[in-house]
Amino acid sequence: MRLNFRTALSLTSLALLSACSGLSMDSLPSLPSVTGDKVLGLVRPYRVEVVQGNVLTKDLVAKVKPGMSRAQVRDLLGSPLLADMFHENRWDYAFTIRRQGAPYQQRKVVALFEGDVLKSLELPDDLPTENEFVAAITTFPSGGKQPKLALTEEERKALPVPVKPVVPAAETIGPQRTYPPLESAS
């Protein structure tokens, strides 16, 4: 008896499907229990950090004043996450961040315009300063000494004056070509 390819493939598929018919949800192994951020209390799974939108702080929003043009607002706050063509006098600046070990944050700032001029900003009550925002998303322990980020004026004066390196003139190797001028000198 000779079988063609389609018949053999069909018989194999039927055999595989009939083998799976005896399975039920009860016969499948159970998944490990997840408690808090850890699996089985031992391993912490990796979670992708998701940051969306514009980070707006009190310091940044304080620079925006009613009467500014759309271009000025865009220069200070960045492009809005939502500029709807049906509500062209409204820009929505939304921000969300999910970071492992830090609380979930979500904020929304709305800029309202009259024509090309900013009318008002609707701000959330929990808008942080820049330092508060950085502290809220920092997840590493702060037990160590903080690095010094700026020099005092005395420390700057104590620094040695930089020496400009002397670059030797390049030696010419081989014959040198001269080219005629591109334009006539007349």
Q: How confident is the model at residue 40 (pLDDT cuts 50, 70, 90)?
A: low
Express each pLDDT in 45-100 by its tens digit: 777 777 888 888 899 999 999 999 999 999 999 988 888 888 889 999 988 888 77
Q: How confident is the model at residue 36 (pLDDT cuts 50, 70, 90)?
A: low
Residues whose CB is less than 8 angstroms from the CB of residue 167 and which lie 6 or more positions away in sequence, other chains included: none
CA proximity to 75, closest of 85, 86, 64? 64
**Residue 28 pLDDT > 50, yes or no?**
no
**Domains delineated in the chain:** 48-138 (3.30.1450)
Name the more confident of 151 and 174. Answer: 151
Q: Which amino acid, one-letter code, is at 109?
A: V
Overall pTM surpassing 0.85 (yes/no): no
Mean per-residue pLDDT of the chain:
80
